[in-house]
Amino acid sequence: MSESITVAGVSVDTRHWIGGRRVASAGTFTDHSPIDGSAVGEIARGGPDEAEAAVGAARDAFPGWAATPRAERARILHAVADGVEKRTEELAIVETTDNGALLRSHRRGVMPRVAHNFRFFADWLLRLDHEDFETRGHTNHVSWDPAGPCVLITPWNAPLMLATWKVAPALAAGNTVVLKPAEWSPLTASLLADIAAEAGLPAGVLNVVQGYGSEIGDALTSHPDVRRISFTGSVPTARRIAASAAANLTPLSLELGGKSPLLVFADADLDLAVDLAVEQYDNAGQVCLAATRLLVEEPVVEEFTRRFTEKASALRQGDPRDEGTDIGPTIHPRQLEKIDGFVQRALAAGARAVIGGHRKDGQYYAPTLLTDVAQDSEIVQEEVFGPVLTLQTFTGEDEAVRLADDTRFGLAATVATGDRERAERVTARLVAGTVWVNCFFVRDLQAPFGGSRQSGVGREGGTWSFDFYCDLKNTVTAPEGWDQDHG
């Protein structure tokens, strides 16, 4: 196989990165661009042998990296961030080509967030502390000890940002990493390996392996030398990972998507509420946090729908490399089939498409709003992961909360209201890991992030990330009994 490909003028190595060197595989898989379906290149297709090599490299590198002083680990992570910033344009165009998200978003928001992930956790590491406390004169000292090799399995919808959301705290904590990016969008993970090496990250501390979950993923998640597994993706895959990790009791952090609601009360600023609703089409609806269920109080539903339809219909869908494009393609033909299947079954069951409801040319799906949907219907209960929203009505807070909480998920929720006390009452009753009031997608890395119910297990962000990626130790020291003549 060719060792590298050129993507929009950027050279990307298609081999694995294991133990500080590039490693080829006997087999490959083809990576396609969702923009036009063209083949981008052949990517090394790893299996059990590559998994064993990567975990072995991480295991061998762990003692040295774990013993590296905090300040030096932080310095190297800041150097990685510097490298990301220097290559922002390259990373942006490669990722847009690979996963179809808007180039303007990658330039202005996503890649700067990638660099911020490294800087934030590097800085948080230096302030990570727990005040000593006494128990009957004995001193308790809490410490965060590196856990060991970590396997990080990341999704395709925001490949580098979500990968570094895991990689940065894992490395900051003193762990070594095996990163397995999604096979539909593997390219920027390979570039990250180059950037990390150039920043001085020691060989074996970060390893990147590519391939299918059934071939390399199982070998990684069942490996007895792996001390942590973090996964973002679907519930069925999470169940498989959890079963694989169970034999070794490997701790898991799972972020599994959702079916989040947007509650619009009659006292809300309707222009704001409509803006929030239309924003859910971001990244062609391929966002785990998206509020895909619009719940609107009956007195304003007609006006809300009119304004929403007008604003959503003005969105421009097309090539994500164009500055004026608002919505790009779906990631893969299989995902397009899945989205359309959901919509067509809903229409056959009696739903009405206010807008959209159909495919467009290539891998593009029209922004869709479905109404006349039952609460227990598939389209309301299951995650579509595409530009498809549903609209339901409610009367009063009790019904709004009942509808909002009536799914097996609990990742996020958004509330639009002009009444502060109502916001406090409603948010207290919502089952969600994150609730936004009169805003959406405001994220601070020091806040806990994760889902309830089948939206996930655990929380990451700030100290919560270090709690997961470390073994917490409490050392209790007696006040007396020291040999005063020693030393």
Residues catalogued as catalytic:
255, 288
DSSP 143: E
CA distance 183 to 335: 13
345: helix, strand or coil:
helix
Beta strands in 125-268 (DSSP E): 133-135, 138-146, 150-153, 177-180, 206-208, 228-232, 252-255, 261-264
DSSP 322: S
Element (H, E) at 193: helix 187-198
CA distance 466 to 114: 18
CA distance 147 to 162: 21
- Specify the amino acid at residue 149: P
Tokens matching residue 222 = 């069942």
Q: What is the dihedral of CA 146, 148, 149, 155, to 10 degrees?
A: -50
Q: What is the dihedral of CA 223, 225, 227, 230, to 10 degrees?
A: -30
Tokens matching residue 205 = 């501390």
Helices (H), 382-461: 396-405, 420-429
Element (H, E) at 112: helix 111-127
CA distance 196 to 201: 6
Neighbours of 57 (CB within 10 A): 24
CA distance 339 to 292: 13
Beta strands in 154-260 (DSSP E): 177-180, 206-208, 228-232, 252-255
Tell me the CA distances in angstroms from 139 to 474, 479, 482, one per residue in order.
Answer: 10, 7, 14
> Is 468 within 8 Å of 145 (Cβ atoms)?
no
**Which strands make up the sheet holding 150-153, listed edge to edge?**
21-23, 16-18, 206-208, 177-180, 150-153, 228-232, 252-255, 456-457
